[in-house]
């Protein structure tokens, strides 16, 4: 800086430093956050006054979500559910920092498109069935069936698997399986009947038989494994 007149001048070195102020007023408009597992979230942008040189968060975001350390934007697709959990985001510069705490809840989606390998089943009494494994989109935490399965068969309430050995004959019946979680449910209907096994091992003790014409014979009863509902002769 110089001061002067007709007789001369005088100078002075003046140094000016303009320093930043700490950031302030950090917040996110959509807080508290509620996201859905498997659904890409809308970009969450911060509001903050002042210059920010970096953003950080503690604890680490849920799997599938990220915080941009330069802009503070939260983005991604959450891959697991969680109850409300607090996270602290901090914006900093050379003069200081400001923090903002918000909860994040990640909810499940309702399960959908429940199905089993077949829409109609015929099982044989006394024969262990092949396990029937369901297919479902989303996460189902509880399965139920109505009406109850025939005696000897069971539905696993955790994974929907149907297994067992039917113990009694059952007429063709419609069954409704429901798979659900906290957000909703999905259903699948199928027909199921249990029939007797084919009779086997038929024989008559004493065969072959020799009879006398016009002479009465003793009654000969058959022996057979399984249930026979009728007999024919050829």
Cα angle: 9, vertex 11, 14; to 5 degrees: 155
CB-based contacts of 80-86 (< 8 A; 24+ apart in sequence): 80/37, 80/106, 81/37, 81/106, 81/107, 81/108, 81/139, 82/106, 84/32, 85/59
A 10 A CB-CB count for 181 gives 18
CA distance 82 to 84: 7
Task: For 25-52, write each residue's pLDDT tens digit.
Answer: 999 999 999 999 989 999 999 999 999 9
Q: How confident is the model at residue 77 (pLDDT cuts 50, 70, 90)?
A: very high
Residue that has been written with the tokens 């008559």 in this structure: 204
- The per-residue pLDDT for 229 is 81
- The per-residue pLDDT for 19 is 73
Q: How confident is the model at residue 158 (pLDDT cuts 50, 70, 90)?
A: very high
For every residue of 144-162, DSSP letters joined together read EEESPPPTTEEE-TTT--E
Structural domains of the chain ordered from first start: 12-107 (2.60.40.10), 112-195 (2.60.40.10)
Q: How confident is the model at residue 198 (pLDDT cuts 50, 70, 90)?
A: confident
- The per-residue pLDDT for 138 is 87
What secondary structure letter does DSSP report for 89? E
Share of the chain above pLDDT 70, in %: 100
- The per-residue pLDDT for 170 is 95
Of 143, 199, 195, the closest CA to residue 173 belongs to: 195
Task: For 96-138, write each residue's pLDDT tens digit.
Answer: 999 999 999 999 989 999 999 999 999 999 999 999 999 999 8
pLDDT higher than 90, residue 157:
yes
pLDDT higher than 90, residue 201:
no
């Amino acid at each position: 800086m110089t001061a002067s007149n007709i007789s001369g001048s005088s100078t002075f070195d003046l140094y000016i430093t303009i320093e930043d102020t700490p950031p302030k007023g950090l917040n996110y408009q959509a807080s508290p956050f509620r996201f859905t597992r498997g659904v890409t979230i809308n970009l969450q942008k911060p509001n903050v006054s002042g210059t920010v040189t970096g953003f950080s968060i503690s604890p680490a975001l849920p799997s599938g979500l990220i915080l941009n350390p330069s802009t503070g934007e939260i983005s991604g697709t959450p891959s697991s559910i969680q109850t409300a959990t607090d996270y602290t985001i901090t914006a900093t510069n050379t003069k200081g920092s400001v923090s903002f705490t918000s909860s994040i809840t990640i909810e499940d989606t309702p399960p959908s498109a429940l199905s089993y390998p077949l829409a109609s089943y015929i099982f044989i009494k006394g024969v262990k069935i092949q396990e029937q494994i369901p297919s479902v989109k989303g996460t189902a935490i509880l399965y139920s069936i109505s009406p109850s399965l025939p005696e000897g068969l069971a539905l696993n309430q955790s994974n929907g698997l149907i297994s067992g050995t039917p113990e009694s004959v059952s007429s063709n019946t419609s069954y409704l399986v429901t798979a659900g979680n906290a957000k909703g449910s999905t259903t699948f209907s199928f027909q199921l009947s249990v029939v007797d096994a084919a009779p086997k091992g038929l024989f008559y003790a004493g065969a072959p038989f020799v009879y006398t014409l016009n002479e009465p014979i003793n009654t000969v009863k058959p022996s057979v494994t399984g249930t026979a509902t009728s007999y024919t002769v050829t």
